[in-house]
Amino acid sequence: MKSTLNPPCPEITPEIATAAEQLGVRAELPQVIAMTQDVFPGNSWRVEIDDDPEIPDDRHLAIVVRTSFRSVDELVASQWKWHERLFACCPAPLAPAFRLSTESRP
């Protein structure tokens, strides 16, 4: 799994841009990043290329958010909100190119 660090502005590394182009979501990626920043304000994030080791050519862009929540309900609500808003950022057939992953921080 390769990753990029999270800059304050949604800059995209050449490696991530190439993967997004291959997945057909290059134009949608900045919108998904901006939406992620809106759903998880003040939290750090990164974009990773997520290759399935068991399925050839099964590649996704994982938006990884490092965050802390007071309750599981609050985390789940934010995850649902992200998934609902994903469809406003990209057409439904392209949405599976993106995955959300959350990491807990102390």
Instruction: Provide the CATH number for the domain around residue 30.
Output: 3.30.300
pTM metric for this prediction: 0.83
Look at phi and psi of residue 42 and say left if phi exceeds 0, alpha if psi is from -120 to 50, else beta.
left
Token pair 């990626």 in the structure block, residue: 29
Taking the C-alpha atoms of residue 4 and residue 38, their distance in angstroms, rounded to an integer, is 19
Largest CA distance in the chain: 39
Query: How many distinct structural domains can be found in the chain?
Result: 1
Tokens of 26: 């290059």
For every one of its 106 residues, what pLDDT tens digit does the chain have, with 9 covering 90 and above?
554 444 344 568 899 999 999 999 999 999 999 999 999 988 888 999 998 889 888 899 999 998 887 788 988 999 999 999 999 999 999 999 999 999 887 6
Range of the structural domain that residue 76 is part of? 2-104
